[in-house]
Chains A and B, each alone.
Chain A
Amino acid sequence: MEAIAFYLFSVITIGMFAIVVFSKNALYAMSALAGGMIAISGFFFMLDADFLGAVQIIVYTGAVMALYAFGMMFFDTTKDVKENIKEDKIVNALWISAVVILIVIVSVPFVSDHIMLDASTSDYKVIGANNPQAVGIFLFTKYLVQFELAAVMLLVAMIAGIILVSKKMDISLTTTVEEKIEKEEFDIKDAK
């Protein structure tokens, strides 16, 4: 049962993300991205991490929705995007091999027998208690430093975003544009 579900979700996830990368239509790519994100939550539910699964759905709904908003503003989403990519074989070969090496470095310890996850001892038992509580206990005890660092990073990103957007907040863009147009019309009349 679990194996069927796992392979089903794997195929859906990989298929969806493949569409994201290969599709030329912005609407296809974004819909597939949303679908892939939701399929990932299936893995969390299979691992009995209900809380993380629901959070995955909620967070990525909002995040991908922001992409949609950008898509709506910048593209005609019903038409294919024309890509002009200059293929550089050396660069492609380099980054693909770099990615493969990274994956091998990260995943080898899990495959080999030298490092084992010790499930019987310590914190692992807490997970049995209650899902959101376990996440909370872990975040505020064992992983407190990482959690706070992530929070600080998000805060920095937010402030940076506000500064980038609000460069000219003391001037009203609408009125300046109108004044400019009026001035130009005046100039044209003058010229006549």
Chain B
Amino acid sequence: MESAYIIETIVKVVIILTVFSALAGITTYFERKVLAFMQRRLGPMHVGPYGILQVAADGIKLFTKEDIVPQNAVKPIFKIAPVFAAATAFIAMSGVPFLPEFTLPFTDYVVHPIVADVNIGILFVVGVMAVGMYAPLLGGMASHNKWSLLGAARTVIQMLSFEVVTGLSLIAPLMMVGSLSLIDINNYQEGGIGHWIVWAQPVAFILYLISGYAETNRTPFDLLEHEAEVVTGYATEYSGMRWGLFAIGEYANMFTVAFIASLVFLGGFNPIGIIPGGLAILLKVSFLIFLFLWVRAAWPHIRPDQLMWLCWKVLMPLAVVNILITGIVLI
């Protein structure tokens, strides 16, 4: 039993790593296509049919690029920073139940599609994603470059501020469920679309989405790598696969945010009518990822001062009032 458990865990870890690394690449393709169609152009078209092989071409380019380390950089920290970005993104995923339980075909072996079923799942995921902010920070500070330092400084203010909104917006639905386990939260919403928490907590859902966009540096809030102001922020000195690891971390975090949003607010992996649960959650996550791209096409950047104003004067008071009202209603 013990060895079976270890083998199962290792298999799950390998599957998650490969699937989401590949998805990070494929999502860049879809991102370019969706943006292109929304802006009435074609996007990547030349490499393969409809530009599908663009992903492979980008991958080869990233792997074969020269790996440059600046002369005055703090070399060990500079080299290890991108690893933090990818590692924390994937460690956070170990607490996420991706699909409902299923038995392997032709056997009666039950698979739980979650790596570590800790009973404080959501706290662990949010916490480890927060550790991910060390990656841009360390990279920026070790680069010995003014743009990188400014990018790192923006990382601290943006991510620490929106961390507060993420936490507060998740507290209200957690109060309703009375558990921090993502599986308990999912089971609370059994029984069709009417039981989804989003109907009871629409404010919390929108707040969580907004802060999720800010924490994954997606466009209206991608100030820490704003081309016009700070070149590419913390990533200015990075090239090749080290830069690629930052990108993989960002896209993996996008998927984690999408999974958490669909588990906590959109009914998780409960079946909708005739659609089985596993397909249902994949559809929800795909829609949320599409929403990420849609927002990127539709909204311009905002200024840093507007970002702080939005976080501390609008979103945080809203989240606190939401918790207060939820508490009064529950009592």
Contacts and interface: CB of A to CB of B under 8 A. Distances in A.
Interface in A45-80: 45, 50-51, 53-55, 57-58, 61-62, 65, 68-69, 71-72, 77-78
Given A28-B74, A28-B77, A68 B156 contact: yes
B141 A72 contact: yes
A58 B73 CA distance: 29
Interface string A24-36: 0101100100100
Given A62-B160, A72-B149, A77 B123 contact: no
A65 B141 contact: no
A50 B144 contact: no
A131 interface: yes
Interface residues of B, number: 30
Contacts of B179: 130
A9 to B, nearest CB: 15
Contact of A78 (B119, B144, B160): B144
B131 A72 contact: no
Interface residues of A, number: 26
Contact of B130 (A27, A31, A61, A69): A61
Contacts of A38: 131
A132 interface: yes
B99 to A, nearest CB: 22
A78 B123 CA distance: 34
Q: Is the interface of A mostly helix, strand, loop or mixed?
A: helix
Contact of B127 (A31, A54, A77): A54
Interface in B129-169: 130-131, 133-134, 137-138, 141-142, 144, 149, 152-153, 156, 160, 163
Between A50, A53, A57, the greatest number of chain B beta carbons within 10 A of the residue's beta carbon is seen for A50
Q: Is the interface of B mostly helix, strand, loop or mixed?
A: helix
Between A34, A62, A72, A78, the greatest number of chain B beta carbons within 10 A of the residue's beta carbon is seen for A78
Nearest to B125: A54
A130 B134 contact: no
A27 B76 CA distance: 10
B74 A25 contact: yes
A191 B180 CA distance: 72
B128 interface: yes
Given A50-B120, A62-B160, A65-B133, A57 B141 contact: no
A55 B123 contact: yes
Nearest to A68: B137
B124 A72 contact: no
A31 B138 contact: yes
Given A38-B131, A78-B142, A132 B137 contact: no
B119 A72 contact: no
Interface string B233-262: 000000000000000000000000000000
B26 interface: no
Given A34-B134, A78-B142, A54 B120 contact: yes
B239 to A, nearest CB: 19
B163 A27 contact: no
A45 to B, nearest CB: 8
B297 interface: no
A27 B80 CA distance: 13
Contacts of A53: 124
B118 interface: yes
Given A54-B127, A72-B153, A78 B137 contact: no
Nearest to B149: A72
Contacts of A45: 118
Contacts of B76: 28
B127 A58 contact: yes
Nearest to A49: B120
B142 A27 contact: yes
18 contacts: A28-B77, A31-B134, A50-B120, A50-B124, A54-B118, A55-B127, A57-B131, A58-B126, A58-B130, A61-B130, A68-B141, A68-B156, A71-B141, A72-B152, A77-B74, A77-B142, A78-B74, A131-B120
